[in-house]
Amino acid sequence: MSADQHKGLIIRHTGSQYMVRNDAGGQHVLCTVRGKLRLKDMKTTNPIAVGDKVVFEESNPGEGVIIEVMPRRNYIIRKSSNLSRQAHILAANIDRAYLVVTLRYPQTNYEFIDRFLVTAEAYKIPVTLVVNKLDLYTSEELKEEQAYFRYVYNGTAAYPVIETSALENKGIDTIRSQIKGNICLFSGNSGAGKSTLLNAIDPSLDLKTEAISDAHHKGTHTTSFYEMFETADGFIIDSPGIKGFGLIDIDKSELYHFFPEMFREAANCKFNMCTHTHEPGCAVKKAVEEGIISKSRYISYLKIMEGDEDSKYR
């Protein structure tokens, strides 16, 4: 690496420009991408993602050109909403992803959650599920749903679940302690309260927030691009709210590997090549019947196996 070349971290991507944090001193350098590098990976909408480690040349003070992307430790990817490209990389080199969900106002679909978790498992990214807006779950019906969510994702699938309320400052200190020294992605549907939650974790972020539509109980996008923030505790990647989560490059014969509770039970199946759909002596189906594996997770598995990848997952 020559004297005018530096290593850095992508902290923001807008259009054709990337903000790079120089590893040497933490200065921010606004960079473009060398043409050959930009054309290298045409399958994705973004050959470079927030969290990528890069080599860049500084052409002028505060300006530069990215000439190399370092190998990624991991990344999280989904089917692109841009039909001319196959996939979109949400972020790279992530220590932990936090998926922010809500049981109501608006309701997060369980299949969306499962698709996110499958991708995270496939690319070896630990996930914590954050059940947000805890202050709204006061009715008995919602408390039962809260308990069911814990059964599905913590009890059977063994994912960490944190219940939070920015209004009542619940769960905030737990997340703050976990992100210390790490690069963490925060993702979720629009309206899940992600920006409000991040403002509670670090008030200096001062992210824009919007009220939920009373008519439709749906959120609006308050974050329009992926951006990494350096806080006193760690690095936080904020992401735009996403509606669907289409899967990329998941081999159906290996899909059950990415449902931890199914993978655990599959060792007891009668047939080695069991698809866990129709075979006799299937330990996974038996575990579903016995409540060891939740029916909602198994239904998500079957839907993914059926290959229903239409526009609603984009």
Please name each of the domains of the chain with its CATH number: 5-71 (2.40.50.140), 83-238 (3.40.50.300), 252-313 (1.10.40.50)
Q: Confirm if 78 and 250 have CB atoms less than 8 A apart.
A: no
Residue 23 has pLDDT above 50, yes or no: yes
How far from 19 is each of 96, 208, 244, 294, CA to CA, in Å?
22, 20, 27, 43
Is the distance from CB of 17 to CB of 29 less than 8 angstroms? no
Average of per-residue pLDDT across 124-153: 94
Question: What is the amino acid identity at position 152?
Answer: V
CB 100 within 8 A of CB 130: yes
Lowest pLDDT segment from 33-47, 174-188, 190-204: 33-47
Residues belonging to the chain:
314
Stated pTM of the model: 0.90
DSSP helix/strand/coil, 41? coil
d(CA 79, CA 185): 18
What does the pLDDT read at residue 80?
Answer: 76
Cβ atoms of residues 231 and 238 within 8 Å: no
For residue 311, pLDDT beyond 50: no
64-82 per-position pLDDT tens digit: 999 999 999 999 998 876 5
- ∠ CA(260), CA(263), CA(265), 5° rounding? 110
Q: What is the pLDDT of residue 210?
A: 62
pLDDT value, residue 82: 59
Strand partners, 60: 63
The reported pLDDT for the residue numbered 242 is 82
Name the most confidently modeled range: 38-42, 46-50, 160-164: 160-164
Whether the predicted pLDDT of 158 surpasses 70:
yes
Could you give the CA distance from residue 272 to residue 297 in angstroms, rounded to a whole number?
A: 22
Instruction: Supply the pLDDT for residue 214.
Output: 41
Quickly list H helices, 90-139.
Answer: 110-122
Phi, psi (degrees; rounded to nearest 5) at 43: -80, -20
Is the pLDDT at 222 greater than 80? The verdict is no
User: Measuring CA to CA, which residue among 203, 194, 200, 208 is closest to residue 237?
Assistant: 194
